[in-house]
Amino acid sequence: MCNQHSDSTGHGKISAIVFQFAAGNDLALKVDTETDELVWDEAAALAVTSVDLITLCPLVAKAYGLSLTWCWEMKNHQGYFDAVQLELTDMTLANAVILQFKVAASSIGIFEVSSPRPQ
């Protein structure tokens, strides 16, 4: 689920994403609007209006039911924490998806990262 707000044009922007894990340990990734950095927070601490993330970004459906394999926190050349990349796989490692969550202009963009095919 995510928190969506509107910009001056009326278009929705994502300001926080709550990752819901099977064990019930929900974790939020949100934007610090002062620095345009990402911040990890307890999901319970957020007062958000929930929107199902799949509504805004259908590609996240590829990750549903998969397990978190890797997580990279990314900093830009100025030292700001502005992206997170997650690799999710099934138990056989045959089905995988890599998603990147990147902040720009106080909004989180979601991208699918292509993995090179083994030769």
The model's pLDDT over 78-89, given as tens digits with 9 standing for 90+, comes to 999 999 999 999
Which residues, including other chains, have CB under 8 Å from residue 29's CB and lie 6 or more apart?
A: 16, 17, 19, 38, 39, 40, 41, 84, 101, 108
* 74 close to 83: Cβ distance less than 8 angstroms: yes
Q: Model confidence at 74, in pLDDT bands (50, 70, 90)?
A: very high
Residue 1, pLDDT score: 46
pLDDT > 70 in the chain, percent:
80
pTM beyond 0.85, yes or no = no
